[in-house]
Amino acid sequence: MARWCLLLAAGLLASFGPVESQFPQDQGFQCPAKDGYFADPDNCRKFYQCVDEYPYDQLCPSGLHWDDRRKQCDFKDVAECGPITTTPGPPTTEDPYKATSCDTANCPLPNCFCSKDGTLIPGGLDPSETPQMIILALDGAVNGQNYEHYVRLFNDTEHKNPNECPMRGTFFISHEYTDYQMVQQLYSKSHEIALYSVTRTRSGFKEMVGMRTMLNLWANVSEFEVLGMRSPRLKPGGNEQFNMMLDYGFVWDSSVSVPPVRVPVWPYTLDYKIPHDCRSGGCPTSQYPGKGHSNHSTREDFNRHYENNRAPYVMSFHTNWFNEANLIEGLNKFLKDDTWFVTMTQALLWMSDPVPVNQISQFDDWDCRKRKEVPPPACNLPNSCKVPFKPPPDVDKRWIPGTRYMGTCFSCPKQYPWLYDVDGDGGQADFFEPPEV
């Protein structure tokens, strides 16, 4: 039921995104122009989104080819394979967000949500009737270095939501160094599991679908419950990405960063133009509270949300910089009768059915007691797999072969799972088939 509702409310959660990757540029493909979409010369399904001359590789859904003339994926017999050389026109910067402006009359909840400047509260609620949602977004590998912090942070006896349910976070998982037994444990405690890609370098769909498959194989996370993603390089892929997200059953993306405007922006569905001034490449870099390089006070930032329109407040943490003391201190300041620590998907569910705060005890999607089919807890004694890591040399020369450890409740793989070999059997797997919907 929830999935159906969310799919219709397919949207893009605005948030602070992750940092720029520190990895060198991919030398494989030279962008023919600064920005735009370009076919791969060798592979009909593959194309690149160039942003400031950096190529982000993307793949058309299974069965479709990239049509370089119309700049979209289409059926094989319709799409022309390969790059099409066109005489370079005037240097227009193709704005992937070009869409019509919000027409509220044609954008009713629960399937569509927008407002002219992005600041209106869903359902026309008054701020005083609106729960202040706080979304803890944790990016990166989950392992022995950070897991105990999470256990303490999400201590159910210490921090609770006003309905007595435990507060929950959204984990954007990347593969390398992740302990899948720990992920399985977080999942069984009803935290949301989302994607940060396999290699933390790109956001192509093999990265995202590959990561989702690994979470299923190694942590028994249902593919139907992995609904969202965050691009490692914080560059959303425009309409093409959105269409592919739908094809693969994803519902939301949290890669767009929002400039620190006075009145915060609510998440929106992608039917209409993005209502804030943020284009690929032009967005400010992310805010990670607790990273400590910014003097921007989290308190002030939170108040900007709480005292204005109560747009969900997203606090992003990278697992490597995780500072538990800072965070817990911060959280204690934010605990109020009308603040709720919810997952990204729970926030979207509220937005598609905005229940005022005084009736929220009847809002089932936030009620832990109403949750059906809670996944069973992970095993107590996981396999601690020590496996050879043999990344395909043609894909990424930056990965150094060696040995990796991987915790899982399942049998150890023959070699370290990676792009193209998500089950770690040493063979080449094609995992691009969209799931049955």
Ligand X SMILES: *[C@@H]1O[C@H](CO)[C@@H](O)[C@H](O)[C@H]1NC(C)=O
Residue 158 near ligand X by CB under 6 A? yes
Q: If binding means CB under 6 A, how many residues of this protein chain bind ligand X?
A: 9
Nearest residue (CB) to ligand X, 80 versus 158: 158
Q: Which of 22, 295, 358, 411 binds ligand X (CB under 6 A)?
A: 295
Does residue number 380 form part of the binding site for ligand X (CB under 6 A)? Answer: no
Closer CB to ligand X, 281 or 375, in the complex = 375
Ranges assigned E (strand) in 68-168: 72-75, 132-140
Minimum Å distance from CB 342 to ligand X?
21
Residue 402: enclosing H or E segment and its boundaries? strand 402-408
Interacting stretch for ligand X, rule CB under 6 A, among 12-20, 149-157, 286-294, 328-336? 149-157
The tokens for 377 are 């807890």
CB closer to ligand X, 181 vs 203:
181
Backbone torsions φ then ψ of 385, nearest 5 degrees: -85, 130
Any contact of residue 437 with ligand X (CB under 6 A)? Answer: no
Strands 11-12 and 268-269: antiparallel
Tell me the closest approach of the beta carbon of residue 218 to ligand X, in angstroms.
Answer: 11
Q: Is 157 in the site for ligand X (CB under 6 A)?
A: yes
Would you count residue 100 as binding ligand X (CB under 6 A)?
A: no
Which 8-state DSSP code applies to residue 146? T
Nearer to ligand X, 57 or 192 (CB): 192
Euclidean distance between the first and the last CA atom of the chain, given in angstroms as a whole number: 13
Q: Judged by CB under 6 A, which stretch of 22-30, 124-132, 147-155, 191-199 contacts ligand X?
A: 147-155
What is the distance between the alpha carbons of residues 427 and 422, in angstroms, rounded to a whole number? 9
223 part of the interface to ligand X, by CB under 6 A = no
Dihedral sign (CA 58, 62, 68, 74): negative
Q: What is the DSSP letter of 24?
A: P
330 is an interface residue for ligand X by CB under 6 A: no
Which lies closer to ligand X via its Cβ, residue 212 or residue 235?
Answer: 212
**Minimal CA–CA distance to 255: which of 281, 290, 221, 291?**
281
CB 67 to ligand X: min, Å: 40
Least distance from C-beta 301 to ligand X, angstroms?
Answer: 13
Compute how many other C-beta atoms are within 10 angstroms of the C-beta atom of residue 143: 18
> How near is the Cβ of 158 to ligand X at its closest, in Å?
5
Q: State yes or no: residue 151 binds ligand X (CB under 6 A).
A: yes
Among 155, 294, 320, 384, binds ligand X (CB under 6 A): 155
Q: Which one among 375, 383, 390, 431 touches ligand X, defined by CB under 6 A? A: 375
- Tell me whether residue 96 or residue 417 sits nearer to ligand X (CB atom): 417
Least distance to ligand X, CB of residue 172, Å = 21
Q: Cα(17)–Cα(314) distance, rounded to whole angstroms?
A: 9
Q: Whose structure tokens read 């620190």? A: 260
Q: Is 387 exposed, middle or buried (0-12, 13-18, 19+ CB in 10 A)?
A: middle
What sign has the CA pseudo-torsion 231, 234, 237, 242?
positive
Using rule CB under 6 A, residue 101 touches ligand X: no
Name the minimum Å distance from CB 144 to ligand X. Answer: 15
**CA 392, CA 280: separation in Å to the nearest integer?**
30
Taking contact as CB under 6 A, which single stretch among the options 153-161, 252-260, 385-393, 411-419 is the one that binds ligand X?
A: 153-161
CB of 221 to ligand X, least distance (A): 8
Tell me how far CA of residue 338 lies from CA of 132, 294, 347, 372, in angstroms. Answer: 6, 28, 14, 25
Q: Does 329 bind ligand X (CB under 6 A)?
A: no
- Give the bridge partners for 387, in sequence order: 404
For 433, the enclosing helix (H) or strand (E) is none
Closest CA to 339 of 322, 315, 318: 315
Piece of 151-159, 191-199, 209-217, 424-432 that binds ligand X (CB under 6 A): 151-159
Question: For 184, which DSSP code?
Answer: H
**Structure tokens, 378:** 């992970």
367 touching ligand X, by CB under 6 A = no
Residue 152 lies near ligand X (rule: CB under 6 A): yes
What residues line the site for ligand X (CB under 6 A)?
Answer: 151-152, 155, 157-158, 220, 295, 375-376
